[in-house]
Chain A
Amino acid sequence: MNKFLQILFIVTAFFVIGCYSNYNYNNVDYSRIDIIGPENSSINSIIDIYSDSIDSKLDNVIGFSKGLYTKDDYSNTKFNSSLGNLIADIIFKQADSVFYKSFGNNIDFVLHNHGGIRSSLLEGEIKLTDAYKILPFENELVVLEITKEIFDEMVLFLNNEKFPHPISGFTIMNNKGEIDIDKSLNDKFFLATNDYLLSGGDNMFFLEKNSNVYHLGYPLRDAFIDYIINQEKIESKVDNRFIRNE
């Protein structure tokens, strides 16, 4: 092709395409900014109006924690956490007493969700505000009557999860659920959990297959607070309640 025509073609193409094209960026800079440094006073003055009214309510010391307990201190084999265990055991104790008073039965198992715990329990004084940070959700405790089949389905589900959901009242050893020997022949069990999971939360749809639901009218956070107020010191650890052979 004639050189002149070739250039003309390119120049024309440039004008046609260049003119009608959108703008394009030709490079991108990125930075991750640490949120530190001076505070904006007008933002703080808005916050103050709100914080004043809650600080007075939530500043009360309700207990004392012997250590730092988190939901993240599990391993792939010891698939349970110090804070998860604490909360599951608290649900067991608190729900059991309410359930027994209202419905005349005892709790067999507890299931809570890993994602329902939102903050760590720090060492030292525990304030009311900490209870809100650890358990911010407005969930209530419910007790579900379940069969052994649902229990087994639950164990299978928990064993395949990415995060360890807190349990109490039974153990899981290498994908097998283990129940107290004196309960092992029962045909029904009472599982205490929260109404979020009952509604299909965290994909635990097996809970919908329960044969009965008992609403305790007892918010989870209140159970946590009631327990802490009645203990001199709070202590917990990772244990052998949930072992996976990975």
Chain B
Amino acid sequence: MNRRRFIYNSSIASLSVLGLNSCSQLLRDVKITILHSNDVHSQIEPFPANHDRFPNRGGFARRASIFEGIRSVNPNTLIFDAGDIFQGTPYFNFFQGELELKLMKEMGYNAATIGNHEFDAGLDTLKKNILETNFQFIISNYDFVNTKLEGMTAPYKIYRKGGVKIGVFGLGIELKGLVNPDLYKETKYYDPVEISNEMVKILKNEKKCDLIICVSHLGHEYNSDKISDVKLAKLTNDIDLIIGGHTHTFLKEPLIIKNKNNDNVIINQVGSGGVYLGRIDFNFTNSSKNETNSLLEV
């Protein structure tokens, strides 16, 4: 396990956002642990011993043990998946995603965003599996009005852990040219940058979240104008972390990008097949040192 620490100059921008409800100090130091996977592609079991890339690695049962261990040390842990949970092994062909969602619920995943392969068994089947497993999908830029998935997903979620308010929203990739229209039906795709601005406005300005996380299936970066996590980070404000997927990008450590306000955005993605888990710990301290430092910068 390699460990890195990034020291931040706390941002001036975050001070300009006035949170009337957060007048009290944190009672103690709080560590918020974010665990994340992406593009697991129905890799329920570890890869076989003779696999060309990942012999004997991965598997849901091992991931569950790791979750358990981390959560027992830090209960302030949230677990997310950045989509393409489905498709890749016979488990999906035979059970159409039922097992994946059932296991993720059991393992303690808090939520996932919707990847393009989540449509592969059609909207009816996805709805049935969401209802059966009570698994939470967060997606902000797909509009499912007039489809079977209407009301089955949330545009954002707010989690409270150790006194810290964490706002999470989700972004999906453009479906046209990627998914058979018979599968996604009348699902509408909206511009990720516009939607992110809306989400940040709600989560930061209205709901006064301390930490904003975007769980994205846009893809890490492209050699074209196509919107990606890297582009999104540059074009928006106030997102602290983008958990990525789709491009199966194996990042050894997160990428730090400056946003529109010149604040840091952390972007991470852990490849595919569930061979790695990303872990990001946000350390909040109870002292006012943080704010004081910022004040001196002002």
Contact = CB atoms under 8 A, between A and B. Distances in A.
A18 B292 contact: yes
A18 B163 CA distance: 16
A30 B68 contact: no
A43 B106 contact: yes
Nearest to A55: B90
Interface string A183-195: 0000000000001
- Interface hub of B4, B62, B163, B182 (most chain A Cβ within 10 A): B62
A23 B278 contact: no
Nearest to B211: A25
Interface stretch (A168-176, A198-206, A234-242): A198-206
B235 interface: no
A18 B3 contact: no
B178 A202 contact: yes
Contacts of B45: 47, 51
Contact of A25 (B57, B106, B284): B284
Interface string A13-39: 110011111111111111111111111
Contacts of B294: 21, 24
A13 B295 contact: yes
A24 B288 CA distance: 10
A51 B99 CA distance: 10
B55 to A, nearest CB: 10
Contacts of B210: 22-25
A133 B89 contact: yes
Q: Is the interface of A mostly helix, strand, loop or mixed?
A: mixed
Interface stretch (A118-126, A142-150, A223-231): A118-126
B151 interface: no
B94 A54 contact: yes
B112 interface: no
B62 A14 contact: no
B94 A47 contact: no
B284 to A, nearest CB: 5
A129 B94 CA distance: 12
Contact of B6 (A27, A32, A33, A68): A27
A209 B56 CA distance: 46
B290 interface: yes
Given A133-B89, A136-B88, A23 B60 contact: no
The residue in B53, B58, B64 that gathers the most chain A C-beta atoms within 10 A of its C-beta is B64
A33 B211 CA distance: 23
A2 interface: no
Contacts of A151: none
A195 B106 CA distance: 36
B61 to A, nearest CB: 4
A80 interface: no
B83 interface: no
B80 to A, nearest CB: 14
Contacts of B240: 25
A132 interface: yes
Contacts of B164: 23
A122 B52 contact: yes
Contact of B177 (A28, A44, A205): A205
A58 B18 CA distance: 59
A85 interface: no
Given A24-B284, A40-B64, A138-B93, A32 B252 contact: yes
The 6 closest A-B pairs by CB, nearest first: A39-B61, A40-B64, A25-B282, A203-B177, A199-B180, A29-B281
24 contacts: A18-B288, A18-B292, A19-B23, A20-B23, A21-B22, A22-B17, A22-B204, A23-B290, A27-B7, A28-B282, A30-B3, A31-B3, A34-B1, A35-B274, A35-B276, A39-B62, A54-B90, A122-B51, A124-B50, A136-B90, A138-B93, A200-B176, A200-B177, A202-B177
Interface of A: 10, 13-14, 17-44, 46-47, 50-51, 53-54, 58, 68, 70, 118-120, 122-124, 129, 132-133, 136-138, 162, 195-196, 199-203, 205
